[in-house]
Structure 1
Amino acid sequence: MRRPFNRLFLLLGFLIVTLILAATAYMLGMRHLEGQERDFWTSLEWAAETLTTTGYGNDSHWNHPLMVVLVICLQFFGLMVTLSVVPVVLIPWFESRFEARLTQTLPDLEDFVLIYRWGPAVSSLVRDMARQKIPAVILEENESRARWLRDRGHEVAYVSLEEGQLDLGGIERARAIIANGEDHDNAAVIAMARQRGFEGSIYALVDTPKHRRPILLSGADAVYSPMHSLAAGLAAKASDRIAPRVSGIQMLGADIELAELRIGADSEVAGKTLADLHLRSETGATIVGQWVGGEFRGQPSPQTVIEPGAIVVAIGREQSLAKLGELATPLDRSGPLLVIGYGEIGQKLTEMLESVGETVKVLARDPHERLDVCGDALDPQVLEQADIRSARAVILTVSADSTTLFASTIIRDMAPDLPLIAAVDRAENIQRVHRAGADFALSISQVTAQLLGHKLFGEHFIAIEPRMRVFEASAKGLSGLSLANARIAERTGCSVVAIERDGRVLTDIGPTLSFQVEDALFLCGSGEAMNRFFGLFPGARPE
């Protein structure tokens, strides 16, 4: 707010000094070059007329060449000053005078969340809170950003820690504080809030994990690193050792396997429903979900459409999955995971993957002793050098979203069936990265929104990706019913993937197969689907 006034004061000082110097030069020039005496005030009047380009009174002609050059220089100098004053000084000054002022105090709201500093890490969380009618107040130190936020309907308070303009009056009405500034500023804001008696939850987002303990000592309840949270999310997408797509398969025995297959646009199953395909009766494999646009869609019903380009997740015996593989392209589970980019995210991602026994190959532009290949990921020859086609999956962790978009296009062209995972800075670029060819894309704001949303509002507040699980149930209450008559998938969202009968595990289950009272059923579904199943068939719960 003070900057336009500072410019105005500097302009006034500059003009006064310029006028005095020009008047003095003119007075001396007239005396020594033209042989005519001019007093200071007459010279000052001439200087003002010249610099403002308003014209002359008595003095309008000079004889000495140096005097003529002096006058010409001052005329052009005055013209340049006049043209510069309007955009540089006067317009910002008028804007500051007539533009609506930014408030520097907290608004009169109840049960709001106070967010210190706007950024990608909190953007998705703020949008989710708006949908849930939970007010958010943003403390912002950047004036242009504060105005930008206010113009988009956010509650904003323009503050400055360095100038002591942070007023936390009314902070006791907040339900929580999220500190998203520089680490040292976060500590200062947290300490000030605690000094004012704020007893609610305070969460801090840090750039450097080593600052976690000092910020906790400042009064934060929890400290998170968005970069490391994003790395953990990417690791979970890349490795089923960290977050298996479907858990509990081991209870079905050694013969049952899980497979992921890509549905090509030209595949005969693309665009058709499960009811039309009869995949279970034709192949013996069970489709338990599919990845579409980075989202895992579980609990398929007979009307579920197999999307072109999707990655389907199936359970069955080896020969059943092989039959299904004739209709789709099985994803290779051998080979290393290729990490492209070795910044903060890439380093933490590599560390996480190697800690669970994954083989990781790293490609980056800047030299580092850990790199397997050093070069530009946008160069196909460098990707060939990294043997990209033998990789199990590629994870992009480059710094710029534009680079991620272009790299995704190049990699998808070189390896059409290779799973591609991408880290994205801005959440609005996720769909663009998917269209460029990425199977999965995560942004810092997504991961942070899930983490903080869970902490602040509980799991119901955020859309947590449903993890599928295989669980065992008894056939009590289902005896005599066929799979078609029981309509388990339609009523509960669970799929019957196997039946244990007389010591044998049956996976080739048709709609006419009837349940027997001694059968042990193995079903696949989310936690909510499992609860619905046992709620509908309480006698099926194992003893």
Structure 2
Amino acid sequence: IRADSPLAGQQLGELRLRERHGVTVIGQWRGGQFAIAKGPDMRIESGAILVVVGAHASLTQIERLAAPIRRTGPIVVAGYGTVGGKVVQMLRDAHEMTVVIDQQLAPGVDIVGNVLEHTTLNRANVRAASAVVLALSNDSEGVFATAVVRDYAPEVPLIVRVNRALNIARLYQAGADFALSVGQMAGEILAYHLLGEQAVTVEPRIKFVRLAPGALVGQHPWRAWVRERTGAAVVAVERDRDVFVKFDDDFQVDPGDILFVCGTLSSLDQYVREFQAAPAESALTADEPNDSAL
């Protein structure tokens, strides 16, 4: 959320993002801490990263509100090892322009140099980048590089790889906008593929779960005061193999629907009790397209 965004400093209740844009705010990251959106009083902070659920078109609208002036330069990736190489591959698959920095000359490396040196940052035109990704293999070097890049380009979004979760706080103190723990990400992927997890973790305290509608049958999913009563939020409804994340005024939950509910473990337990909900199996397979995104 840029400082000049119309969202900055506003409360969720004032913005009415659900009614106006069809999105659900799950919470916000700020300085390495995640704050759950428990109700309309949550204030969106400048510099925060929102976690939002909605259709692609709705998310695009929110993105424009969050960052009114989009930077148009390439994404600079520093570090071209296993992680950096995968990041570059994914970015290029998404048709994003990239500039790769590494200390070793190799196919795919655009600039050979040390990211800790201003001459290297100058050659990569980092100040004009749309974002910088530091994919360095050493956490100590990552912290140092974060401080150098943040001092050199204060306005550029900075995303940093971290190996050990205990170093995340150091990266935020050094100026990272977002730090990703390789271990945590790998754990989530393994749990999903090997253990058949039916819940998706956004942050260690927060999960998405699929539930039968229970007492929400016949009600509009956003007008039953779910978040106020339980702390959890209904973010999507699956019906006849389609997933809806935006609902017309006359939308009502049917008995055969599957609800996607997001919250902490305690709020999800409260939701199950309050609305007499039970776990549900989704008929939507992973390879079928739909118009929802996180």
Pairwise same-fold verdict (TM > 0.5): yes
1:420 alignment partner AA: I
Residue 245 of structure 1 aligns with which residue?
Answer: none
Assess if the C-alpha contact under 8 Å between 2:84 and 2:135 holds in 1. Answer: no
Residue 294 of structure 1 aligns with which residue?
Answer: 32
Confirm or deny that 1:434 pairs with 2:176: no
State the 1:306 CA deviation: 1.2
Structure 1 residues 363 and 467: CA distance shift in structure 2, 3 A = farther
Structure 1 residues 367 and 525: CA distance shift in structure 2, 3 A = same
Q: 1:394 aligns with which of 133, 137, 154?
A: 133
Confirm or deny that 1:374 pairs with 2:112: yes
Q: What SS does the aligned partner of 1:287 have?
A: strand
Confirm or deny that 1:327 pairs with 2:96: no
Assess if the C-alpha contact under 8 Å between 1:498 and 1:509 holds in 2. Answer: no
Assess if the C-alpha contact under 8 Å between 2:221 and 2:253 holds in 1. Answer: no
Structure 1 residues 411 and 505: CA distance shift in structure 2, 3 A = same
Question: Cα deviation per residue 1:367-413 (whole Å; 9 max; x = unaligned)?
Answer: 44464312243555532533544565411637554453122221334
1:275 alignment partner AA: G
Aligned residues: 253
Structure 1 residues 485 and 337: CA distance shift in structure 2, 3 A = same
Assess if the C-alpha contact under 8 Å between 1:394 and 1:420 holds in 2. Answer: yes
Residue 54 of structure 2 aligns with which residue?
Answer: 316
Quote the Cα distance in structure 1 between the aligned partners of 2:165 and 2:237. Answer: 46
Residue 148 of structure 2 aligns with which residue?
Answer: 406
Quote the Cα distance in structure 2 between the aligned partners of 1:298 and 1:329. Answer: 21
Structure 1 residues 502 and 373: CA distance shift in structure 2, 3 A = closer
Structure 1 residues 519 and 276: CA distance shift in structure 2, 3 A = farther
Quote the Cα distance in structure 2 between the aligned partners of 1:358 and 1:503. Answer: 30
Q: 1:274 aligns with which of 4, 9, 12?
A: 12
Q: What SS does the aligned partner of 1:271 have?
A: coil
Quote the Cα distance in structure 2 between the aligned partners of 1:426 and 1:476. Answer: 38
Q: 1:523 aligns with which of 235, 260, 264?
A: 260
2:150 alignment partner AA: S
Structure 1 residues 409 and 513: CA distance shift in structure 2, 3 A = farther
Quote the Cα distance in structure 2 between the aligned partners of 1:480 and 1:541. Answer: 19
Question: Cα deviation per residue 1:426-480 (whole Å; 9 max; x = unaligned)?
Answer: 968945x435531134799x98xx9xxxxxxxxxxxxx94275544333331234
Identity score, percent = 27
Structure 1 residues 326 and 387: CA distance shift in structure 2, 3 A = same
Structure 1 residues 485 and 374: CA distance shift in structure 2, 3 A = closer
Structure 1 residues 427 and 317: CA distance shift in structure 2, 3 A = closer
Question: Cα deviation per residue 1:471-498 (whole Å; 9 max; x = unaligned)?
Answer: 4333331234454663222343332223
Which structure has the bigger radius of gyration? Answer: 1
Quote the Cα distance in structure 2 between the aligned partners of 1:497 and 1:479. Answer: 16
Assess if the C-alpha contact under 8 Å between 1:284 and 1:509 holds in 2. Answer: yes
Assess if the C-alpha contact under 8 Å between 2:146 and 2:174 holds in 1. Answer: no
- The 5 Å alignment of 1:419-430 reads 419-421=158-160, 423=162, 430=169
Structure 1 residues 404 and 325: CA distance shift in structure 2, 3 A = closer
Confirm or deny that 1:350 pairs with 2:87: no
Higher relative contact order (CA 8 A, sep 6+): 2
2:175 alignment partner AA: G
Question: Cα deviation per residue 1:147-205 (whole Å; 9 max; x = unaligned)?
Answer: xxxxxxxxxxxxxxxxxxxxxxxxxxxxxxxxxxxxxxxxxxxxxxxxxxxxxxxxxxx
Structure 1 residues 420 and 411: CA distance shift in structure 2, 3 A = farther
Quote the Cα distance in structure 2 between the aligned partners of 1:426 and 1:318. Answer: 31
**C-alpha root-mean-square deviation of aligned residues, in Å?**
4.4
Assess if the C-alpha contact under 8 Å between 2:232 and 2:264 holds in 1. Answer: no
Quote the Cα distance in structure 2 between the aligned partners of 1:504 and 1:426. Answer: 37
Assess if the C-alpha contact under 8 Å between 1:501 and 1:520 holds in 2. Answer: yes
Residue 77 of structure 2 aligns with which residue?
Answer: 338
Quote the Cα distance in structure 1 between the aligned partners of 2:86 and 2:164. Answer: 20
Q: What SS does the aligned partner of 2:121 have?
A: helix
Q: Which runs of 5+ in 1 are unaligned?
A: 1-262, 341-345, 451-463
Assess if the C-alpha contact under 8 Å between 1:299 and 1:526 holds in 2. Answer: no
Name the one with the larger strand percent: 2
Question: Cα deviation per residue 1:101-123 (whole Å; 9 max; x = unaligned)?
Answer: xxxxxxxxxxxxxxxxxxxxxxx
Quote the Cα distance in structure 2 between the aligned partners of 1:318 and 1:524. Answer: 19
